[in-house]
Amino acid sequence: MRAARPAPPIRVAIVGGGCAGITAAFELTRPEHQGRFAVTVYQQGWRLGGKGASGRGEHGRIEEHGLHVWMGFYENAFRLLREGYAELGRDPEADPLAGWRDAFFPSPRIGLTEEREDGGWDDWTALFPPMPGLPGDPLTLENPFSVSSYLVHAARLLATVIESARRRQGTSAGEGSGVPRPSALAPEAILENLARLVRYGHLATLVGLAEAVRGLGVLFGAWSRRPPGRGTEATVLRTLENVTRSATRLLSELARGDGELRRVWGIVDLLLAVIRGVLRFGLITDPRGFDAVDDYEFRDWLALNGASRATLESAFLRGVCYDQMFAYEDGDPERPRTSAGQALRTLLRLLFTYRGALFWKMRAGMGDVVFAPFYEVLLRRGVRFEFFHRLEALRLAPEGQPSPGERPWVESLEMAVQATVRSGKPPYKPLVDVGGLPCWPARPDYGQLADGQRLKAEGWDPESFWDRREVERKTLRVGKDFDFVVLAVGLGAIPTVAGGLVARDRRWRRLVDNVKTVETGAFQLWLQKNVAALGWPGAEGITLTGFVKPFDTWADMTHLLREECWPPERAPRSLAYFCGSLKSPPELPGRDDLGYPAARRKAARQEAVGFLDHYAGHLWPRAVRPGGGFRWELLVPPGAERPAGPERFDTQYWTANVNPSDRYTLSLPGTAKDRISPLDNTYDNLTVAGDWTACGFVVGCVEAAVISGRLAAHALSGRPRLEDVVGFDHP
């Protein structure tokens, strides 16, 4: 008897190898699927990573799209990362960065900088204590993502903050006054005191506030299973108003003239506004969750809920909710805009659900520690990678073709093949070895490519939207070359590659019209001195945000130098990353605007040079000359040439991320509804993945991209179960 032939695998074409596409590939090729899906990843250019890509340049210099840190609440991203490393099975004895904990390390500090009235800048560092567990650990029965849980946490944090403010002011009259410890104090005395206390109502002072808030926490805790009725919320609100009034009066007076306390007060005020807003807007029970306030701009919403002007302008709010999220419409510093719903979700998740540390930094480029390991694992699982394949057009079956009741589908994918591998050499091997670590190079390996030397000489850039050189066209057809498509390109690429969809489907039109992206810029400096010698008074390894636009974020990434391979006599002492959103035209530039990328790159350079000349002195007082101006000689060039003055900057690395697909996805107010879900089944064989999708966590970040990739896999395979996509179900 002949054995039944196994069903042929379902062919999935994943277009785009960023976080989202790679996640989808990883999910669809899990061994549990027993080879049900045959996955091919189509990627333009020579490397995976997209907005998170990095490459190795001269001396193994790590060159990145921008600063990338992972937050301690990236449950999905860390979970996959840990699985990926486990499967990779590197030898801890022999291989560098063998395990995920070698690749990532906790970074519990965030630095914020704030402009003083006299035009100077003040820095302060907030330390976020380690929290139990590690990101990606299994979660069990307790749901960390409930509004009640957030309220409990918020109340606890408030209590702690108020308490520390009180201690700082030395208002604990008992302190040092020889008051016996509670257990030693005669019960009668306490009783008497308490009775008096109660009689005269003196709990209504700062000392009582901490307890009041703590008590609120207990009560919020009681909501974790049983949402309160509206009446209850009103009562709590009233209590909260009272707490706030007292706190405001007392703390803001104390805080005047004391920078540290003022910042503490800013956080208290912010949290109180958040709690009040959550209660006032009924977000605990609203079936839309925080999306119910998606139409509000976050700061407007906070103001509505009583946040003070100082809080709205505080470095904490600006740094954490705007600068880190590039949340400036068209990159315009005058237009900070982000959706209240999404910012609230992010802020609460960030502050109250992180595990281990608030931030996790990488020991090498994100390409090296994330995309190279996944590339290797996926290759072993049989995933095919087609580099140098750029999607030109996704074509639907002609309108009217689906018979009644049938859904429209993708008929073909038109690919531009940007380069081919020299005969006898395929497939293209994309990784290079840097000190034993498989890494992506900063440029294609021309040696493997047909006509490689010519391409190199011509300055070919296959990642550029404007570089249209190609060697051939390929049309992939449904049923022949693929069955399903996962469209995982960046949002900015959609109008170009899926123009047909956009023209035909109003929802796709709304997506590209309303969900905006912004250009970003970044530069990296290799310096002759360490940060202390440059005059930075704080800790090494700081990530500081809230600074001057456009490069409002600085991170000391000196730890990366260990992974680079400089000749010892020329080794830099520190490595600084700067990053921010660039002021950019509201309309995406056309494909025929060939001069655009070079012009933007030039502008970014100018901004960077000006920034260093004018503002670097604040961070690094010893990096500027007595009369002002940056000491360019501090920069370490990789080559023998050592230009003087600002020209030395050209030996460093900088980028203007202007390719449409590389633009950062914003969460502008009122646009969450315009996104399209990876679970949407309008097109029979198409799903989407990317940080721009309606993936539940509507924020441009690695976690959103990973969630979207998992959802796309679910859409095709039913796995992972939606309940297992951590935090997808979230208020």
Partner 1 sequence: MDRPRHRRRDPQRTGPIRHSGGAWAKGEPWHDPLEPEDDPVSSGVREGYRVIEEQIRRGQRVAQGMDDEPRSRDRYGREHRERRGRRPRPGPEESWPGYDYDVPPRGGSDPFHLLSMPARHLGRLVQEILRQIGSARPDPLRLAGLLFQLQIEAIAELTRLGFSTLGLGSRWGDAFQEDVYRVQHDIDEGVREIEEEEEEGYGEWRDDEPGHGSWDWRGIPGAPAVIHASVPIPVYVESHESTEIVLDLPPGSHLQSLEVEPPLAVGTAEPPAPAFEAEFVDLADGPVILRVEVPRDLPAGLYPRRIVTSATGEPVGTLTVQVGTIPKPSSKTPRKVSPKPRPRAEKP
Ligand X SMILES: Cc1cc2nc3c(=O)[nH]c(=O)nc-3n(C[C@H](O)[C@H](O)[C@H](O)COP(=O)(O)OP(=O)(O)OC[C@H]3O[C@@H](n4cnc5c(N)ncnc54)[C@H](O)[C@@H]3O)c2cc1C
**Residues between 457 and 496 that touch partner 1 (CB under 8 A):** 478-480, 483-484
Task: Show the site string, 461-500: x = touches ligand X by CB under 6 A, - = not.
Answer: ---------------------------xxx--x---x---
Q: Applying CB under 6 A, does 52 fall inside the site for ligand X? A: yes
Choice between 140 and 423, CB closer to partner 1: 140
Q: Applying CB under 8 A, does 210 fall inside the site for partner 1? A: yes
The stretch near partner 1 (CB under 8 A) out of 116-124, 193-201, 420-428, 456-464 is 193-201
Q: Applying CB under 8 A, does 720 fall inside the site for partner 1? A: yes
Choice between 47 and 82, CB closer to partner 1: 82
Place of tokens 């042929």: 8
Single out the residue of 120, 287, 626, 628 in contact with partner 1 (rule: CB under 8 A).
287
- Asked if 525 and 518 count as a contact pair (C-beta separation under 8 A), the reply is no
DSSP assignment, residue 482?
B
The stretch near partner 1 (CB under 8 A) out of 228-236, 265-273, 359-367, 413-421 is 228-236
Q: Applying CB under 8 A, does 9 fall inside the site for partner 1? A: no
Single out the residue of 12, 13, 15, 206 in contact with ligand X (rule: CB under 6 A).
15
Q: Applying CB under 6 A, does 19 fall inside the site for ligand X? A: yes
**Least distance to ligand X, CB of residue 289, Å:** 21
DSSP letter string, 112-136 = EEEE-TTS-EEEEEEEPPPBSS-TT
β-strand partners of 421: 449
> Out of ligand X, partner 1, none, which partner does residue 450 contact, by CB within 5 to 8 A per kind?
none
DSSP assignment, residue 635?
B
**Residue 233 CA, distance from chain mean position:** 34
> Out of ligand X, partner 1, none, which partner does residue 490 contact, by CB within 5 to 8 A per kind?
ligand X
Task: Show the site string, 140-159: x = touches partner 1 by CB under 8 A, - = not.
Answer: xxxx-xxxx---x-------
Single out the residue of 122, 376, 650, 680 in contact with partner 1 (rule: CB under 8 A).
680
Q: Applying CB under 6 A, does 323 fall inside the site for ligand X? A: no
The stretch near ligand X (CB under 6 A) out of 135-143, 402-410, 471-479, 696-704 is 696-704
Q: Applying CB under 6 A, does 672 fall inside the site for ligand X? A: no
- Asked if 486 and 688 count as a contact pair (C-beta separation under 8 A), the reply is yes
Closest by Cα among 202, 703, 443 to 693: 703
Q: Applying CB under 8 A, does 713 fall inside the site for partner 1? A: no
Cite the DSSP H helix spans in 68-201: 75-88, 100-103, 147-169, 187-200
The stretch near partner 1 (CB under 8 A) out of 204-212, 313-321, 542-550, 642-650 is 204-212
Q: Applying CB under 6 A, does 50 fall inside the site for ligand X? A: yes
Length of the chain: 731
Pick out residues in 388-407 that bind partner 1 (CB under 8 A): 407
- Encode burial over 575-611: b for 16+ CB neighbours within 10 A, e otherwise: bbbbbbbbbbeeebbeeeeeebbeebeebbbebbbeb
Single out the residue of 2, 5, 181, 506 in contact with partner 1 (rule: CB under 8 A).
181
Task: Show the site string, 507-526: x = touches ligand X by CB under 6 A, - = not.
Answer: -------------x-x----
Task: Return d(Cα 104, Cα 136) in angstroms, integer.
Answer: 13
- Encode burial over 625-655: b for 16+ CB neighbours within 10 A, e otherwise: eeeeebbbebbbbbeeeeeeebebbebbbbb
Task: Show the site string, 309-348: x = touches partner 1 by CB under 8 A, - = not.
Answer: ----------------------------------------
| Count of CB atoms situated within 10 Å of the CB of 166 | 19
DSSP letter string, 655-722 = EEE-SGGGSEEP--TT-GGG---TT--SSTTEEE-STTS-SSS-SSSHHHHHHHHHHHHHHHHS-S-G
β-strand partners of 527: 574, 635
Q: Applying CB under 8 A, does 539 fall inside the site for partner 1? A: no
DSSP letter string, 233-275 = HHHHHHHHHHHHHHHHHHHHHHHTT-HHHHHHHHHHHHHHHHH
- Asked if 569 and 441 count as a contact pair (C-beta separation under 8 A), the reply is no
Task: Show the site string, 14-43: x = touches partner 1 by CB under 8 A, - = not.
Answer: ------------------x-----------
Pick out residues in 378-397 that bind ligand X (CB under 6 A): 390-391
Task: Return d(Cα 651, Cα 257) in angstroms, integer.
Answer: 44
Single out the residue of 169, 171, 252, 530 in contact with partner 1 (rule: CB under 8 A).
171
- Asked if 83 and 370 count as a contact pair (C-beta separation under 8 A), the reply is no
Task: Show the site string, 58-97: x = touches ligand X by CB under 6 A, - = not.
Answer: -------xxxxx----------------------------
